[in-house]
Structure 1
Amino acid sequence: MRLVLTSLFSVALGALGTGTADAPPTPPPPLLPYHGSADQMVTVTAPDGASTTATLIAWQRHGSRWVRSLGPFPAFVGAQGIGQASEATSHTPAGVWTLTEAFGIKPTNGTRLPYRQVTNSDWWVSDVKSPFYNTHHSCAPGTCPFDESAGEDLGEAGPVYDHATVIDYNRSPVVPGKGSAFFLHVSSGSPTAGCVSIAAADLDAVMRWLDPADHPVINIGLSPQ
C-alpha cells in the first residue's frame, strides 16, 4: 500500500538523533513527508538515480525525533538505479511504502512480521494478464492459473530468498504493468532486478528489529545534494 506523499525529501535537522549519546552526528534521513503512523522507517538512499548501490539505515521515531537504530549498511538496488518502476524496467521504485509481511526459504530468522516459509509451490505473480498479478499464490509447478514464465517461484530463487521482506509497492490498488515482486532480501553481491538487497546478517538484524506495532515503512530515494 503506497502512502500519501506531499513533497520531496525535507526534514529538520533538529528532529533527528543517533542511537548513542557519544556517536557522531548522523546525517538526517531523506524523509518523504507522509500521512501515516509509522514509528519505524528504513531509508535506502543512492547518490544519484543511475547508481546501483545505496545506503540502508533503520530509524526509530521518539516523539518528534528520528533516532538511528541500525546501520548504515551497504545495499544494492536495481540494475537501472532508483526511479519509476514498471514490469519493463529494472528500476527500484522511489517512494515510501509499508513493510507488512515477510517470507523465506529458511525458517524464520526471528522477525515479528507475519512470516511464510516458502517452497517451490509458492509464487509471486508477474503475469500482467492475471488477476493474481503482484500477489503471492500457492500452486504446484505446472498447475498454476497464470503464466509461470512470468512469475517468480520463490522457493527456487536460492540464497537471495533465504529471508526477505515484502515492499508494498503497487499492492493497493494493484496496477497491471506498474511492477511486481519488490522485496528487501539477501544480497548476491550485484545489482538486482528492482529489489533492495543487503548482506544476510544485516538483513537478519533489520527483520528482527521491524515491529508491526510500529507500522514500519521503507523510504527509497536519492541522497540530498
Structure 2
Amino acid sequence: MDPRSGAQCQDGPVRIDGVRRVVVVVAALGTLLTALSACGTAVRDEGEPEGVGHAGPSRAESHDPTRIPNVGDRLQRRIPAESGQVVAVYGEGRDSAQSTVVLYTRHGTAWQRTRSWAGHNGKRGWTTDHRSGDRRSPVGVFTLTDAGGVLDDPGAGLPYTQDPSFAAPRWWAESHWHDFDYVIAIDYNRVKGTPPNDPRRPEGEERGGSIWLHMDHGSGTSGCVSMSKSDMEYLLRTLDPDRHPVVVMGDRGELAA
C-alpha cells in the first residue's frame, strides 16, 4: 500500500540387485507398477511449483509447455502474446495468506520455470472483486511496469524510483518497517509509467490500489504479495521491460478456472 496514505499493503526408486529368477523379477515389476499407479495424480509437473496442489489429470495428460501450469483458459487468455516473463502467484486457498511465487520465462513457444519462492498474500486471502480495506489480494493478470523503494536501485530492469517516502510509518509494528525497501508495482488500478506510490486511482478509490510485490514480514498483507529481500532483488534484476512481464495471481481454484 501507499506508505504516504498510511494504508497497510501488506518419486522412491525400486532396486532389484542380482536377481536371476524370472518369477522374482516379475513380482518386483508388479510391485513397481502398483506403486506407480498409486501415485496417480500426485506426480508433480516439473513446471509446477512445490507446495502447489495438483488437482487435475496426470502429468502425461495435462502438461503443455506452451501454457503456464495450473492456470485455466480464462486467465491464460489474458496473458499478452508478447509477454516473455510471467510471475505466477499460487495462493494456497481462497482464505489463506500463504502462497508460492514462481517466475516462468518463455523460450520460443515453451514456458520454463526459472525460480520459485515462498510468499504471502492478503491476510484474508483472495478476491475477484477487490475493494479498499478488504485485506484480500485481487485475482487476475496484471502488467509489471514500475519499481521503486526506500533502498537504492539494486540494478533493476524496470524503471526504479528511489525515495525515502516509500518508508512504512513508524507507528506500524517494527516487523513491517522494511516492507517497502523494495517494491514492484502490480498494475491494478494505477497509472502505468509512474512511481509505485503514485496516488492516482483510475477506477476510483473504492477499488483500492497500491497493490505491490514487496518485502516479506512473515505474515499476510493487506492485499500485496510479499517475498524475502533476496527474492525481491532477484526479481528486480531479472524482470525485463522488453519482455513485457506480467503477474498471474490468485488462489488455486480461481487460477485453474
Where do 5+ consecutive residues of structure 1 fail to align?
Answer: 1-9, 18-26, 121-153
Number of matched pairs: 172
Partner of 1:183 in structure 2? Answer: 212
The amino acid of 2:91's aligned partner reads A
Are 1:104 and 2:154 matched, yes or no? no
CA distance in 1, matches of 2:233, 2:251: 24
Partner of 2:51 in structure 1? Answer: none
CA contact (8 A) 1:16 1:67 kept: no
Structure 1 segment 1-225 matched on structure 2, within 5 A:
13-15=63-65, 28-30=69-71, 32=75, 33-34=77-78, 36=80, 37-71=82-116, 73-83=117-127, 84-120=129-165, 154-157=166-169, 158-171=177-190, 174-176=202-204, 177-223=206-252
Q: 3-state SS of the aligned residue for 1:38? A: coil
Q: 3-state SS of the aligned residue for 1:168? A: coil
Structure 1 pair 35–41 and aligned structure 2 pair: CA distance change class (3 A): closer
CA distance in 2, matches of 1:156, 1:46: 25
Pick the structure with more strand per residue: 1
CA distance in 2, matches of 1:171, 1:196: 16
The amino acid of 1:46's aligned partner reads G
Q: Which has the larger radius of gyration?
A: 2
Q: 3-state SS of the aligned residue for 2:64? A: helix
TM-score by length of structure 1 reads 0.71
CA distance in 2, matches of 1:64, 1:101: 26
TM-score by length of structure 2 reads 0.62
CA distance in 1, matches of 2:238, 2:79: 23
Where do 5+ consecutive residues of structure 2 fail to align?
Answer: 1-55, 57-61, 170-176, 192-200
Partner of 2:46 in structure 1? Answer: none
- Percent identity of equivalent pairs: 30
